C-alpha cells in the first residue's frame, strides 16, 4: 500500500538546519531555526532548569498517570504566569499540553466543534494554518503586516475582521509576532477587544514567546487585557522558549468561560481532544516548570535568566538597526529596534535569501525571516553588508 504514497514537501526550516550543518565555511551564520542562542551560539539548559531537574530526581516517587489535563499543580501554577494575579481565575481552566503546538492543536480541535472558520494573520507561523487545516477549519487570512513600513497594518487588519461572522475563531499572536516581530500597541489591542466583543468573535491567543519582548508581565498584557474584557476566549501558551525546554514539550491550553460551570464543560471537551490525540501530556518539562514556579527563590532566578535572554535580543536589535543606519544612511531598518522577540522579516526576496545562503553562508528562511538571536555581536556588520549587497 505504501507505494501509493508521495513524500510530503520538505519542511523549509528543517531543510535549512541540514543545509547549514553540511556547510563547511567557518564564518557561516545560522539565522534559520527558531531557538534562542547565547553569545557563543549555544542553546543552553538554564541553571534553574538544571536545579529543578535535580530536585525532581531526588523527590519524585512515582511516574504513574496524571489525567488528560496533566499535573493539576502545574495547571494551578501556570495560570497566574499567563493571566496575572488579578485573573478571573474561577472562569479559567488550564490543561498541560505537549508544547504550544499541542495546545493549539487541542484548542483548534475543540473550536471546530463550535465554529467552521478561523482567521489567521498574513503572515503567520506556518503551523497555524497546518493545524487549522488538520482540524478541518476553513482558513481565512487577515492582512497584518505592511511590508512597506515593516509595521502592523492595523486599519487593514480591523477592516478584514469587521467582515468576520459571529462565532468565527480569530488567531492572534499575544506578543513577539512570528515571523514579523511586529506587535499591536496597547491602544490597538484595546480597539481589537471592542471589535471582538461587538462582532462576537472567539479569540485564540498564541503566547509562545512570553518574556522575550518587553518582559514577562508586559508580554502578557494583551492576553490579560482580553481576559478582563471578553466573555470567552482560548489561549495556547508555550514553555519551550522562555524555559528553554524545547524538546521536553511543555505548554498549556486555557479556556476562559462566561461562568465557572461553562468553563468546566469546555475544559472537559478540550480534554476529549487530548484523549484522542496523545491521551496525556509528557510530564518531565511540566514538573520542572512547576518546581520553578512554586519556589520563590528559583522563580526569581529563572526570571533573571529569562531577562538575560531578553536583553541580549534587545541589544542585538539595537546593534542591527544602528549598523544598518551607518551603512545605508537611512532609518529604513529602525523597525528592527521597534519590533519584538526573536524574529523579523529583513525584506529580502526568495532569490536574495538564496544568494545570502550561497554567497555569504547566511542561512535565513526563504521569506526573509531572521532569528536575531542567531547573530553574534561581531557578525552584525558582516550580516548588514551582505543584506545591503544582495538587495543592490
Ligand atoms: C508562534 C508560535 N506558536 C507556537 C509555537 C509552538 O512551540 P512549541 O510547540 O515548541 O512549544 C511556536 C514555535 O516555534 C511558534 O513560533
Q: Give one DSSP letter per residue of 158-225, joined into a string.
A: HHHHHTPPTT-EEEEESSS-TTT-----HHHHHHHHHHHHHHT-EEEEEE--TTSSS-HHHHTHHHHH
> What pLDDT sits at residue 12?
81
Point out the residues that are catalytic: 125, 206, 208, 241
Q: Which atom of ligand 1 is nearest to the CA of 99?
A: 11
Architecture of domain 11-44+299-391: Alpha-Beta Complex (3.90)
> What pLDDT sits at residue 321?
98
Closest protein CA for atom 13 of ligand 1: 208
Closest protein CA for atom 15 of ligand 1: 208
Is the Cβ–Cβ distance between 35 and 246 less than 8 Å? yes
Phi, psi (degrees; rounded to nearest 5) at 117: -125, 145
| Distance from residue 299's CA to the centre of ligand 1 (Å) | 23
| Distance from residue 342's CA to the centre of ligand 1 (Å) | 12
Model confidence pLDDT, tens digit, residues 228-264:
999 999 999 999 999 999 999 999 999 999 999 999 9
Q: Which atom of ligand 1 is nearest to the CA of 101?
A: 9
Is 237's C-beta closer than 6 angstroms to any atom of ligand 1? no
Reading the block at residue 335, the C-alpha cell is 523597525
Q: Give one DSSP letter per residue of 65-133, joined into a string.
A: --BTTB-HHHHHHHHHHHH-TT--GGGEEEEEESHHHHHHHHHHHHHTTT-SEEEEEES--HHHHHHHH
Closest protein CA for atom 2 of ligand 1: 208
| Distance from residue 247's CA to the centre of ligand 1 (Å) | 12
| Distance from residue 343's CA to the centre of ligand 1 (Å) | 12
Is 252's C-beta closer than 6 angstroms to any atom of ligand 1? no
Is 100's C-beta closer than 6 angstroms to any atom of ligand 1? yes
The pLDDT tens digits along the chain (392 residues) read 999 999 988 888 888 888 999 999 999 999 998 999 999 999 999 999 999 999 999 999 999 999 999 999 999 999 999 999 988 889 999 999 999 999 999 999 999 999 999 999 999 999 999 999 999 999 999 999 999 999 999 999 999 999 999 999 999 999 999 999 999 999 999 999 999 999 999 999 999 999 999 999 999 999 999 999 999 999 999 999 999 999 999 999 999 999 999 999 999 999 999 999 999 999 999 999 999 999 999 999 999 999 999 999 999 999 999 999 999 999 999 999 999 999 999 999 999 999 999 999 999 999 999 999 999 999 999 999 999 999 98
Alpha carbon distance 279, 51 (integer Å)? 29
Phi, psi (degrees; rounded to nearest 5) at 179: -105, 5
The CB density around residue 23, as the number of other CB atoms within 10 Å, is: 15
Is the Cβ–Cβ distance between 232 and 260 less than 8 Å? no
Q: In angstroms, what CA-CA distances link 198 with 91, 103, 106?
A: 21, 27, 26
Is 240's C-beta closer than 6 angstroms to any atom of ligand 1? yes
Q: Which CATH number fits domain 65-294: 3.40.640.10, 3.40.50.410, 1.10.630.10, 3.40.50.1220?
A: 3.40.640.10
| Distance from residue 71's CA to the centre of ligand 1 (Å) | 21
Alpha carbon distance 242, 246 (integer Å)? 9
| Distance from residue 332's CA to the centre of ligand 1 (Å) | 29
> What pLDDT sits at residue 15?
86
Angle at 140 between CA 138 and CA 145, to 5 degrees: 150
> What pLDDT sits at residue 205?
98
Is 242's C-beta closer than 6 angstroms to any atom of ligand 1? no
Residues carrying CATH 3.90.1150.10, the chain: 11-44+299-391
Residues carrying CATH 3.40.640.10, the chain: 65-294
Helix (H, G, I), strand (E, B) or coil at 283: coil
Is 181's C-beta closer than 6 angstroms to any atom of ligand 1? no
Is 125's C-beta closer than 6 angstroms to any atom of ligand 1? yes
Is 371's C-beta closer than 6 angstroms to any atom of ligand 1? no
| DSSP symbol at 227 | H
Amino acid at each position: 500500500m505504501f507505494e501509493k504514497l508521495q513524500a510530503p514537501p520538505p519542511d523549509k526550516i528543517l531543510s535549512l538546519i541540514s543545509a547549514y550543518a553540511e556547510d563547511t565555511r567557518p564564518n557561516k551564520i545560522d539565522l534559520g531555526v527558531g531557538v534562542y542562542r547565547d553569545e557563543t551560539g549555544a542553546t543552553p539548559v538554564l541553571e534553574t532548569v538544571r536545579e529543578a531537574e535535580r530536585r525532581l530526581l531526588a523527590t519524585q516517587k512515582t511516574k504513574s498517570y496524571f489525567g488528560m489535563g496533566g499535573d493539576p499543580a502545574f495547571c494551578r501554577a501556570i495560570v497566574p504566569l499567563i493571566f496575572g494575579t488579578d485573573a478571573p481565575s474561577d472562569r479559567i481552566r488550564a490543561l498541560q499540553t505537549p508544547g504550544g503546538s499541542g495546545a493549539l492543536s487541542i484548542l483548534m480541535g475543540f473550536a471546530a466543534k463550535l465554529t467552521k472558520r478561523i482567521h489567521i494573520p498574513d503572515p503567520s507561523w506556518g503551523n497555524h494554518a497546518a493545524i487549522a487545516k488538520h482540524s478541518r477549519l476553513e482558513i481565512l487570512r487577515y492582512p497584518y503586516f505592511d511590508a512597506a513600513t515593516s509595521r502592523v497594518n492595523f486599519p487593514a487588519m480591523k477592516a478584514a475582521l469587521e467582515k468576520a461572522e459571529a462565532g468565527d475563531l480569530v488567531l492572534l499572536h499575544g506578543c513577539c509576532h512570528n515571523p514579523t516581530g511586529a506587535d499591536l500597541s496597547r491602544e490597538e489591542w484595546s480597539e481589537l477587544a471592542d471589535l471582538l466583543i461587538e462582532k462576537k468573535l472567539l479569540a485564540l491567543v498564541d503566547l509562545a514567546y512570553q518574556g522575550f519582548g518587553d518582559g514577562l508581565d508586559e508580554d502578557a498584557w494583551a492576553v490579560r487585557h482580553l481576559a478582563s474584557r471578553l466573555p470567552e476566549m482560548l489561549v495556547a501558551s508555550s514553555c519551550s522558549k522562555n524555559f528553554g525546554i524545547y524538546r521536553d514539550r511543555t505548554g498549556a491550553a486555557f479556556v476562559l468561560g462566561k461562568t465557572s460551570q461553562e468553563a468546566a464543560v469546555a475544559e472537559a471537551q478540550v480534554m476529549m481532544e487530548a484523549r484522542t490525540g496523545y491521551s496525556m501530556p509528557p510530564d518531565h518539562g511540566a514538573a520542572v516548570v512547576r518546581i520553578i514556579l512554586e519556589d520563590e527563590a528559583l522563580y526569581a532566578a529563572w526570571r533573571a535568566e529569562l531577562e538575560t535572554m531578553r536583553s541580549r535580543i534587545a541589544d542585538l536589535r539595537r546593534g542591527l538597526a544602528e549598523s544598518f543606519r551607518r551603512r545605508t544612511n537611512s532609518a529604513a531598518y529602525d523597525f528592527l529596534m521597534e519590533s519584538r522577540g526573536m524574529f523579523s522579516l529583513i525584506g529580502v526576496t526568495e532569490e536574495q535569501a538564496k544568494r545570502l545562503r550561497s554567497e555569504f553562508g547566511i542561512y535565513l528562511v526563504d521569506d526573509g525571516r531572521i532569528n536575531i538571536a542567531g547573530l553574534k555581536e561581531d557578525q552584525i556588520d558582516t550580516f548588514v553588508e551582505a543584506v545591503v549587497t544582495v538587495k543592490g
